[in-house]
Amino acid sequence: MKAIYYITVATVLFFTGCEFFSNNQELMNPPEFEYLIQDLDNELNLDTGQRSSARSSLELGRDFHPDPATLWELAVTLQQSLTQEQKDLLLSRNQQIDSQILTEENDHHHRRLEHFQRMDDRLMFIMTEEQLPLYQEIIDTKSTLINEITLQYQNEELERKTMHIELMSVMEWFRAEIEILLTEEQQNTLLTERDERDINWRRGRGRWGRFSQDPDELKRAMQSALKLTGDQITILETSHSSVKTALDNLRDSYVDGTSGISAEDFRLSVISIVQNGILEREQVFTVLQQEIIDIHRALVLRFMRHTRWGRT
């Protein structure tokens, strides 16, 4: 009987242990977290307390990984723990700008990601011989515009906020042009492959956070971090909806040709719509909330060095 008892206990402990280690594996932090902490430490020379609190707050965002919402609690912590000198350093211009990272981050932030610009090889494979030179012309124009905008920012001819709006206008134009160029069948093929690429990327990186693809939870993460009031939330949601509708209408009329506007006028219209939306939102936030937002954006740009959404 004793032998049976010991065997039973050993079996229970074995499987309990396996489950324990399995759960621990599930709860392990993504390596990008430590990479980001190391980046911040190298840039800001964090003290022991700052490093510890930064790691702890970043872990609180694990459920949102790899979405930028992962970084909201860290942004709040840094706003409270960094010296003014460290904040200024964090928010200062980064002269070594990767335009691909900027456009990806900008795309993801504005929730208008179609992934077409990240699938050049596949696009060229499914296009006809007649489409290829037209596509190359679009790609060349996009690259030229992005490089010009990036150079202006590096030369301090553009503010960071203006640069992001300019980049968004380029990507909106690019997606509209691709939509005009591709057939409906080609677009459906790309969207299907995009979903498959995301699944493969997800498997390669391990389990995503449980809220990483839940728009409501992602939104609540920001609202909680900024401690937004009910009135603030209502104003922001109304403004966001108005901007999205205006951009959708502009793109649709450009694609079907009813607007009759040029590519440059399309970009200028995008800039105008987004700028007006930003002006509305800026009036909503307090000084403290805006500082947290600025820190969050600085963190996102650094996080993007290690995490590239939707890439295999």
Whether residue 12 has pLDDT greater than 50: no
| Token pair 């968004």: residue | 168
pLDDT bucket at 14, cuts 50 / 70 / 90: very low
pLDDT bucket at 101, cuts 50 / 70 / 90: low
The token pair that represents 210 in the structure block: 């449980």
Whether residue 231 has pLDDT greater than 50: yes
Are 250 and 276 in contact by the 8 Å Cβ rule? The answer is no
The token pair that represents 33 in the structure block: 């977290």
pLDDT at 93: 57
Return the SS3 of 288. Answer: helix
d(CA 182, CA 190): 10
Whether residue 203 has pLDDT greater than 80: no
Whether residue 100 has pLDDT greater than 70: no
**Cβ atoms within 10 Å, residue 95:** 9
Per-position DSSP letters for 155-205, written without gaps between them? TTSS-HHHHHHHHHHHHHHHHHHHHHHS-HHHHHHHHHHHHHHHHHHHHHH
Give the residue, 92 or 288, on which the prediction is more confident.
288
Whether residue 41 has pLDDT greater than 80: yes
Whether residue 239 has pLDDT greater than 60: yes
Smallest CA-to-CA distance from 81 within 39, 42, 51 is with: 51
Are 264 and 176 in contact by the 8 Å Cβ rule? The answer is no
Whether residue 16 has pLDDT greater than 60: no
pLDDT at 116: 45
Give the residue, 129 or 118, on which the prediction is more confident.
129
Instruction: List pLDDT tens digits, range 138-178.
Output: 999 999 999 999 889 888 898 888 988 999 999 999 999 99
Range from 20-34, 54-68, 150-164, 256-270 that averages highest in pLDDT:
256-270
Whether residue 117 has pLDDT greater than 90: no
d(CA 263, CA 286): 37
Give the residue, 193 or 277, on which the prediction is more confident.
277
Are 56 and 72 in contact by the 8 Å Cβ rule? The answer is no
Q: What is the mean pLDDT of the chain?
A: 81
Residue ranges per domain, the chain? Answer: 99-303
**Cβ atoms within 10 Å, residue 230:** 8
Whether residue 273 has pLDDT greater than 50: yes
> Percent of the chain scored above 90 by pLDDT?
51
